[in-house]
Structure 1
Amino acid sequence: MLVSMSAVLLLGLLIWFLLRIRYLRLADLLLCGTFGFLLSRTVAAPVVQALLDGVSGFLGGLRF
């Protein structure tokens, strides 16, 4: 759950930034939000969650 909350926060900030530089219009924002809510209710949701968990595990394992 923590990874999905972080992803939601990151994507929200990205959308806010795109709106701020006027690259993303309000209609696009509504479309992206609707797609996200619909995707979370499909069979693809566990696959997307597993992908996010894998990416976060990989990024968490990197040492600089």
Structure 2
Amino acid sequence: MAVTIPLVLLFGIALAVCIRFKAVGFGVAVLAALFGFYLADTDARTTVNDLTTAVTDALNDARP
């Protein structure tokens, strides 16, 4: 029996651990970029795009 784990899940877990332990460096930046690229290929891209658009619109409307 083979168990498959999506690469985006592994990148997400690794990025969460790095952020939790405040391990910031070049490697974490590369990991975050790879996580973003792999996340863009999933079904979550529309949700992430909608959330980003809503946040930027809210911040833009809050400006005096």
Is TM-score (shorter-chain normalized) higher than 0.5?
yes
Q: How many residues align?
A: 42
Percent same amino acid among aligned pairs? 29
| Mapped partners of 1:62, 1:54: distance in 2 | 12
* Bigger radius of gyration: 2
Unaligned runs of 5+ in 2: 1-22
In the other structure, the counterpart of 1:39 is 39
- TM-score normalised over the length of structure 2: 0.57
Unaligned runs of 5+ in 1: 1-22
Alignment of 1:2-13 (within 5 A): none
Which one-letter code corresponds to 1:60 in the other structure? N
Provide Cα deviations, 1:1-42, integer angstroms capped at 9, x if missing partner: xxxxxxxxxxxxxxxxxxxxxx62222111111101001111
| Mapped partners of 1:53, 1:61: distance in 2 | 12
More helix by share: 1
| Mapped partners of 1:31, 1:59: distance in 2 | 28
Root-mean-square deviation (CA, aligned residues, Å) is 1.5
| Mapped partners of 1:60, 1:49: distance in 2 | 16
Alignment of 1:45-60 (within 5 A): 45-60=45-60
